[in-house]
Structure 1
Amino acid sequence: MKKTALALAPLVLGMFCAAGAHAQPAAPAATTRPAPPVIHYRTETIDGVKIFYREAGPADGPVVLLLHGFPTSSHMFRNLIPYLADKYRVIAPDYPGYGQSEAPDPKKFTYSFAHYADIVDTLVQRLGASRYALYVMDYGAPVGYRLALKHPERVSGLIVQNGNAYEEGLRDFWNPIKAYWTENTPARRKALAGLVTLDITKFQYTDGMGDVSRISPDNWIHDQALLDRPGNSDIQLDMLYDYRTNVPLYPKFQQFFRDRKPPTIIVWGKNDTIFPAEGAHPYLRDLPDAEFHLLDSGHFALEDRLAEMAPLIHDFLDRKVAPR
């Protein structure tokens, strides 16, 4: 009897373990999450200048061209790019004198919005982007709209964030700059030197923001380090003076809107001192079907409203630029 019990012990133990194993709750199935997109950081030499750009997303995806403002660079889109790159080929260049692009001597290189538009045009053509949605912000608006005048058939849509195309948008902030346009003297130029200092750079990121704790101080430290490069302040003052050449083109930009009727979404920080909401509303005169969103934010709205803006932009692109 004892031998029989010993012989049965392994079998009984095995049955007990098996029963115990079956009694354990099943492990949860592994959740499969999409891998984050790979972002490439590249340069292309155009007109003898190395132009830096960020690129992400499927090579055959619809193109979204991100055009930055002053005093920043493609860095302003660093958080938006991964969100769009699941489906879209995203290209974000730095203009000469900004970000990681080279900043040649102004005596040897023409710093102007017309030249920037030509450089961006050359870049996207080299990259094989024959059609694109334009995301325009601040300086990116005249660069992008000049590009649109050159190739209206290539524009698949517009994403407008605090980018002006109407004189109503040039409010009090612009008065000393307009005086510089009227009278290009050393005194007028010197009066604007404060616009490239740390206080104003920080102001651009924090003014009008409901919760400044959402704004990374890396922004103004990063931008100011680049503004403080030898000779860069002169480049910025040259660009401020050249901005006057955009204003006579506003009627042509507006005619482009009316003639081509590009699908448009406006996502505008309404508390912006530089490009206030007075510059956002006139778009609806020429683009009455535009999707219009005034956000409780300031100049760099992506810094505190990304969670709101990114889904709006992605949904707009899905419906209007790359419908399934």
Structure 2
Amino acid sequence: MEVPLIEEALAFTVSTALGEVAVRMTDDHQAADDAPALLLLHANPGDSRDFAAVAPVLAREWRVVTVDWPGFGRSTATDPRQVTADGLVATAEDVLDALAVRHGIRRVCVLGNSVGGYVAARLAQRRADEVAGVVLVDPAGFTPQNAATRFFCRQVMGRQFFARLLVAPLARAYLGGLRTASARATYARARQLRHDTQRLAVHCALWRSFADPRCDLTGPVDRVGAGTTPTLLVWGRRDPVLSAAVDGRRARRALPHAESVLLATGHEPFSERPREFLAEVIPFLRQHATSAWGVAGAAG
């Protein structure tokens, strides 16, 4: 039996244009109502359980909010073929609105991995007053836009026949040898994708959407928070999906104000090496949560 992502969590759904989105939030935080909140956004494919190795530790100091993207985890997708990276940005904005109305949470830090990192970057642009800082973990949006990458997104990973064959071996490669229980659980869920028509359709639609030039974060107008939002770039040196040497370098050039760290991992360092990941991320969050709210987190 799987352990819940965060014990004693408050679960609710948010209606969005793409479907009913499942949200979970720690509800036992003892700090004031305006205490720091941390929104975790997962990769494709995956769901909020991908953060199982780090979320309980983060929940000691922050009100941790997790989201299952439409079609993944406990969320539904109205039309799986219409889910796009930019559609997920709008979905995340709906979640921010719901957090403000239902729970009085009006400022968050956002930690996103892969497509979740792309969404975090866009949130810092569109909702700068509500985003106190972003942690971009091997984020999408920095891959060179050329004929080869567009072909791979549209005609390989964007087609169900090929995606069904490739999703499991690709996940095994980017999860770094499955050395942790979290990585093994994430891999097991990725393997099931080929048997789940809805999830597979969402997975392929998201891949196709990254061939759209609008998903490029490297332009001058695309700098996260116009260079004012505190940003931490975390990249896995052995990431086979979004190369540290190519995508990571382009990200550092596009976001010169960002702090940057390179870890000896694949695509999901929080799952492969959670202690090393937290050692880099927690000081960043403590610094910017404190400056944003004037409230220091109490170490657990």
Specify the TM-score bucket, using the shorter chain as the normaliser.
0.7 to 0.9
Aligned to 1:102: 76
Task: Give deviations 1:268-323, integer Å, cap 9, x for gaps.
Answer: 11101111102223333344443321111111211221011113211111112324
Match of 2:95 among 110, 123, 133: 123
Indicate if the aligned counterparts of 1:64 and 1:91 stay in contact, CA closer than 8 A.
yes
State the 1:247 CA deviation: 4.7
Q: Does 1:86 align with 2:60?
A: yes
Query: For the structure 1 residues 253 and 72, does the alpha-carbon distance in structure 2 shift closer, same or farther, using more than 3 Å as the test?
Result: farther
The 1:167–1:148 alpha-carbon spacing in structure 2 relative to 1, beyond 3 Å, is: same
Partner of residue 221, structure 1 = 188
Q: How many angstroms apart in 2 are the aligned matches of 1:269 and 1:121?
A: 28
Q: Indicate if the aligned counterparts of 2:39 and 2:108 stay in contact, CA closer than 8 A.
A: yes
* Aligned partner (choices 226, 239, 251) of residue 283 of structure 1: 251
- TM-score for the superposition, normalised by structure 1: 0.74
RMSD: 3.0
Which residue of 2 is the match for residue 43 of structure 1? 13
1:114 aligned onto 2:86: yes
Aligned to 1:71, the other structure's residue is in SS state coil
Counterparts of 1:212 and 1:119, CA distance in 2: 31
Task: State the one-letter code of the partner of 1:74.
Answer: S
Q: Show CA shifts across 1:208-267 (max 9, x none).
A: 72x643354322222333552234323322221112225554245764337242212222
Conservation of the 8 A alpha-carbon contact between 1:56 and 1:81: no
8 Å Cα contact 2:25-2:66 kept in structure 1: yes
Distance in structure 2 (CA, Å) of the matches to 1:219 and 1:158 = 23
Higher relative contact order (CA 8 A, sep 6+): 2
Q: 1:55 aligns with which of 6, 9, 25?
A: 25
The answer for the alignment partner of 2:109 in structure 1 is: 133
Task: Return the alpha-carbon distance in structure 1 between the equivalents of residues 167 and 142 of structure 2.
Answer: 24
Moved more, 112-121 or 267-276: 112-121
- Alpha-carbon distance change, 179 to 165 in structure 1, aligned in 2, over 3 angstroms: closer
| Cα distance in structure 1, aligned partners of 2:158 and 2:199 | 14
Say yes or no: does 1:294 pair with 2:262.
yes
Q: Matched residue pairs, number?
A: 277
1:65 is aligned, of 26, 36, 39, to 39
Q: Is the 8 A contact 1:138 1:164 kept in 2?
A: yes
Unaligned stretches of 5+ in structure 1?
1-35
Q: 1:61 to 1:79 in 2, by over 3 A?
A: farther
Q: Which runs of 5+ in 2 are unaligned?
A: 1-5
Tell me the equivalent position of 1:15: none
Deviation of the 1:188 alpha carbon: 6.2
Q: Is the 8 A contact 1:112 1:239 kept in 2?
A: yes
Is the contact between residue 152 and residue 256 of structure 1 (CA under 8 Å) also seen in structure 2? no
Q: Which among 160, 168, 187 is matched to residue 201 of structure 1?
A: 168
Between Structure 1 and Structure 2, whose CA radius of gyration is higher? Answer: 1
Q: Distance in 2 between matches of 1:54 and 1:148?
A: 21
**Change in 2 beyond 3 A, CA 1:253/1:225:** farther
Whole-angstrom distance in 1 between the partners of 2:254 and 2:141? 11
8 Å contact from structure 2 (residues 227, 255) kept in 1:
no
